[in-house]
Amino acid sequence: MDFYLTEEQERLRERVTDFANQVVAPLAHIVDTTGQIPSEVIEKAVDMNLLGLAIPKAYGGSGLGYIGLVIAIEEIARVCASTAFVIASHQGPAEAISLFGSPQQKEDYLVPMAHGKYLGAFAATETGAGSDVAAGATYATQEGDNWIINGRKIFVTNARQAGMAVITAITEDSRRQKERLSLLIVPSDLPGFTIGSKYNKLGMRGVSNHEIFFDDCQVPLKNLIGTRGAGYSQLLELMSRHRIFGAAVSVGIAQVCLESSLAYAKRRVQFGQPLAKFQAIRFKLADMATQLELARLMTYKAAWLVDNNKPHRRESAMAKLFASEIASQAANQAIQIHGGAAYTTDFPQERYLRDAKLMEIAEGTSEILRITIAKQLGC
């Protein structure tokens, strides 16, 4: 990728690769088995300002934009998808405030988030509002100078570690669902903000996902992000950007599947020659490499469009759709190439497959992404 990365971006990639190989990779198995990311990993990420890569410099971030963020997420996901997903998820609430928040909200929340004072969470999903994001049932009612929030969110990433959450809530009486939502900042230490049970998941086990309950949770009116009733349109823009994070995680998973499979195929001898000499294996590796490079290019294109303030909804959806599906395919092929040993937990390929599956669901399912792409085509 040297031919289109700037010197600053190339230096970032080298630093993050060293961090991934030296700090994250040795602990990846522990993350998967314990369901927790060791504090030293997050502390080192904070020291490297990885939590503030896309946050403007004026608010303590690196200001390296989405290409910088994609570089970091891909390199970390290559060794531990859970760690990459946690860092990526932190960008969601930060981006909401960066794009739509007031100057005071940026000072109050972006600065500590960039400096790693706490992680942020984004809470939109509900039991009846998954892909149908406008169908939520969490309400925020104005009473005097405050919002009173009641409801429940599910599958909230970083909920346990979060110092605040950006949430969607119904604030308007409009009959049109898309005009009812608003975004609110809710500090996690408020009365009525309760963290529920943790989900036991197939993969991405190091990612903390919890329910959040709001029971007459009171926040000031000033915690409204942007305009009342604009939450749906804000959410669409944010989701489009979040999909680039998902694509980058997927590219990282596909990369390690190719790397590990290629190395194994070269050293594993059967019938008197390395597996890499058999056409059946060579074709698998060729397909993995081709699909990976296409996914990476599409992901970087989507990130470039965001950094240059150009329309990106179609490209973000394409990048996330293609990258997530080829990540699952690459993980499947990696297990096939490694054979029976990779079906055991002695090899990490089974973890790659479990982690990859989430990427076909989170930040927009493959089905929703195809609908989005078709709409952008005018269908």
Residues involved in catalysis: 363
The token duo for 238 is 């944010």
Q: Taking the alpha carbons of 190, 173, 106, 63 in that order, is the dihedral positive or negative?
A: positive
Contact between residue 108 and residue 254 where contact means Cβ atoms under 8 Å apart:
no
Q: What does DSSP assign to residue 196?
A: E
Nearest Cα neighbor of 246 from 308, 194, 320, 309 is: 320
Helix (H) or strand (E) holding 290: helix 279-307
Q: Are 82 and 30 in contact (CB under 8 A)?
A: no
Instruction: Enumerate helices (H) and strands (E) in the chain, giving the number of each.
Output: 12, 10
* Inter-CA distances, 177 with 40, 133, 171, Å: 43, 9, 11
Q: How far apart are CA 38 and CA 148, in angstroms?
A: 36
Host H or E run for residue 64: none
- The DSSP H or E segment spanning 218 is strand 209-220
CA distance 183 to 227: 9
Give the Cα separation of 317 and 339 in Å (integer): 33
CA within 13 Å, CB half, 358:
21
Taking the C-alpha atoms of residue 249 and residue 256, their distance in angstroms, rounded to an integer, is 11
